[in-house]
Structure 1
């Protein structure tokens, strides 16, 4: 199987499973990965990101293959944009 066939066969759900496995060292159901499995999964995750990651996070591979490195202030802005206010109450309210 060549790289193009591999990438076209990966669903977003499969990518999420692979990404989780690379980050934690185990599959979502808890089975640990061998070092070889983790290395291969990391390669697939990076290839997938290089084709599909249009909104890259800090230290991820963006579409086109560039590694994204964000400044601390850019990361704070991104984090602030993604926060939702659940409850807001003034301390001085009676």
Structure 2
């Protein structure tokens, strides 16, 4: 089946099942996914999500700025660097 034909039949239940199968590496019946099946499923999920979900709910979404990139984090790194012991030859 071609990707376009599959995407026309894909619904939220199929999408969720494919996502779970990709996460586990197994089909719902327990069979291990082949690399070809993983590749095709991932492609279908990515296209489906692009067409039907907001960006923040898609696979691989990362916010523009991570929560750990604040001043406190930078201060902690500077404090750790300042506390490093350095030995010199006598």
TM-score above 0.5, yes or no: yes
The structure with the greater share of residues assigned to strand is: 1
The structure with the greater share of residues assigned to helix is: 2
Q: Please, which runs of 5 or more residues in structure 1 have no aligned partner?
A: 62-67, 74-94
Whose radius of gyration is greater, 1 or 2?
Answer: 2
Which stretches of structure 1, 4 residues or longer, exceed 4 Å deviation after superposition?
Answer: none
Superposition TM-score, scaled by structure 2 size: 0.59
Say how many residue pairs are matched: 65
Superposition TM-score, scaled by structure 1 size: 0.57
Aligned positions of 1:28-67 closer than 5 A? 28-54=28-54, 56-57=56-57, 60=59
Structural RMSD (CA): 2.2
Q: Please, which runs of 5 or more residues in structure 2 have no aligned partner?
A: 68-90
Q: Structure 2 CA distance, aligned partners of 1:31 and 1:39?
A: 16
